[in-house]
Structure 1
Amino acid sequence: MELVLKPHDDENVVKAVAKKRRTKVEHIEPRPEDFPTRVQTPWKIGAHVSAAGGVENAIVNAAKLGATAFALFLKSQRKWTGPPLKAESISLFRKRLEAFGYAPSDVLPHGNYLVNLGNPDEEKREKSYECFVDELKRCEQLGLVYYNFHPGSTVGLASVEDSLAHVANCINRAHKETERIVIVIENMAGAGNVIGGKFEELAAIIFGVEIKSRVGVCLDTCHMFAAGYDIRTEEVQQFDTIVGLKYLREMHLNDSKTPCGSKKDRHDNLGMGQLGLPAFAHIVTDKRTQGIPLIIETPSHDVEDIWRAEIATLHALAADGGQAQTLEDGGAAVREAVKAAGKLSGKARKKRTRAVDSDAEDEFD
């Protein structure tokens, strides 16, 4: 028998479908006990994770990797502006941070790639400054401690000294517009007109900052090596002499595809580049690097197992003091993870590979 819908029946069906579409899927909050147990040592080790869908998701993505610290972008790193943080995201971020056992000082927000506080053009520098301060205020909304950024470039139109002074002046202005955030300057590889490749340049910026308790340095191992500091053989004594270890607030742990002094910022996976795994074992067994975020930014090919293997290796080295067997096993685990990622089909791999090699040193204008 054929079913005939009367007009009011058809209307009821439409209403029922509309109601179903409006019904939200029940939110299930992630539980820390459902994630891998994180190795706890005095060294805070993690990766730069995705914050897609909301900054609160970065915490979950870090926990999945077994990370005890993490970095994230607070908005698109290649756009000047972005939508404000949602109240719900801010609340969830703070709640998850506590629930998953991360301290605010374990988090390292990374600044926008377009910002150039060293630009001699006042209008362009002001545009950078507005983006810069917006991100600082986002950090404070989330209750965080640090904000890491690239110092910028002379763009070939100013002296290095003038650009360094511009950066220091912008930091001084930003301190007056914010309450507590510590602004952390990242060292660079020294390519072209980019400033911050030499320790003396970092020291010059700090010298010009008025509130020195709210400024620091993030040392990137690949950048240091590319800039000519051979950290395979040299202690951090040179940095301590020129800048001061008290300003070391964070580190980026990246191997280098290019040799020492190349001025090329090309990140490689731990133990697979020119630096080698023993250099990183030294870092995660040095008491001077305890308690600060140690963040990897190595190529992941969008495969979590690579970062998971690298983080596990660093945790193991920190836990046992860098034993030879751990170096061997850890290196093998990283190579295997990278090899597995390399088995992706050519087209899929090209699409999924994330360009973390260059830290956008040539994007300043």
Structure 2
Amino acid sequence: MGCHVSGAGGIWNAFENAEKCKAKSFALFLRNQRQWVAKPLDNATIKKWHEASQNFPVHLILPHGSYIMNLGSPVPEILKKSRDMLLEELQRCEKLGIPHYNFHPGSTVGKISREECCRCIAESINLAHDQTKDVICVLENMSCQGFTIGGDLHELRLIIEHVKDRSRVGVCLDTCHAHAAGYDLSTEDGLNKFLDDFGKIIGWQFLRGIHMNDSKGESGDHKDRHENIGRGKIGIAGFQRIMNCEHFNDVPLILETPWTSNEGYGKEISKLEGLIKK
């Protein structure tokens, strides 16, 4: 269990913030996620990161990409900026020794077909792979909101099929997004349907992480609205089943709930760990 932590004051501070939450995994932004241009990593930052990360399993660190990046954009200027950002972020991960990089796939913005957008996203990944060595691009399932890609698991599968090096692509499952997309994770049948579809459509070999979020909305409302664990429509019983799912062992289970403090996240981590059947 872990959470999204702050890297304010220096990204190496993420480890201290994770420790305060008793997080065994974490996500973070490696740069200002609301700007296209970021200051390059300097040697001092890289050194401090490596010193802080010595005793932390790197496969349990899952950086999150910028929300402004759209790797399937039909607008040439936005597509170029997005591709440049992806490359720069993968290069950051390489310098820091982080094996994964998670991001929202993209959006048609209503101007191209969903299939064309998926192919464009895959090509964006291929271009970044050609210029980097080993960081794995981790696609996130979405909520079927608007023109976003990835709420339908078949769209994630289509992207993966068009990535040349499939050893360098994976998926992060977001519980709120899945619930909003139409899988009722508050019920055993809904969770089993989601797990069955993921196994058949994507394949468990591609799972790289889980975002643990309750949902403010009902199943199938297509609204990406995160809620604190147990306060939303998935509920405690739903998360008890999720926490005891054998498929989710040894991957980062990361909270992105509305807490703004380490203390709040720490309480939710303890709550979820307490749901594990001994």
Q: TM-score higher than 0.5 here?
A: yes
Q: Which of 183, 198, 207 in structure 1 is aligned with 2:161? A: 207
| Cα separation, 2, equivalents of 1:244 and 1:175 | 21
Identity among equivalent pairs (%): 44
| C-alpha displacement of 1:122 | 2.4
Name the SS for the 1:109 alignment partner: coil
- The aligned counterpart of 1:306 is 264
Question: Whole-Å Cα distance in 1 between the matches of residues 24 and 205 of structure 2?
Answer: 22
**2-structure distance, mates of 1:140, 1:316:** 35
Aligned partner of 1:120 in structure 2 is 74
Alignment of 1:337-352 (within 5 A): none
1:307 partner amino acid = Y
Matched, 1:315 2:269: no
CA displacement 1:26-75 (0-9 Å, x = unmatched) = xxxxxxxxxxxxxxxxxxx1000000011100010001000000000000
CA RMSD of aligned residues (A): 1.0
* 1:287 aligns with one of 246, 251, 260: 246
Q: Which amino acid aligns with 2:67?
A: Y
Distance in 1, Cα, partners of 2:23 & 2:60: 10
State how many pairs are aligned.
273
2:53 is aligned to 97
Q: Which structure has the higher relative contact order (CA within 8 Å, separation 6+)?
A: 2
- Residue of structure 2 equivalent to 1:242: 201
Give, as a single letter, the amino acid of the residue that structure 2 aligns with 1:57: N
Q: CA deviation at 1:146?
A: 0.5
Q: Larger Rg: 1 or 2?
A: 1
Deviation at 1:213, TM superposition (A): 0.7
Which one of 269, 277, 288 corresponds to residue 228 of structure 2? Answer: 269
Counterparts of 1:99-248 in structure 2 under 5 Å? Answer: 101-232=55-186, 233=188, 234=190, 235=192, 236-248=195-207
CA distance in 2, matches of 1:238, 1:191: 20
Instruction: State the TM-score, normalizing by the size of structure 2.
Output: 0.96
* SS of equivalent to 1:50: coil
Q: Which residue of 2 aligns with 1:34?
A: none
Equivalent position of 2:237 in the other structure: 278
Q: Tell me how far 1:127 sits from its aligned partner.
A: 1.0
Distance 1:315 1:295 in 2: 12
Gaps of 5+ in 1: 1-44, 322-365
Q: Do 2:17 and 2:262's aligned partners in 1 also have CA atoms closer than 8 Å?
A: no
Deviates more, 1:234-243 or 1:203-212: 234-243
- Does residue 53 of the first structure (1) align with residue 53 of the second (2)? no
Identify the residue that residue 214 of structure 2 maps to in structure 1.
Answer: 255
Is the 1:112–1:132 contact (alpha carbons within 8 Å) kept by the matching residues of 2?
A: no
TM-score normalised by length of structure 1: 0.73
Distance 2:203 2:237 in 1: 24
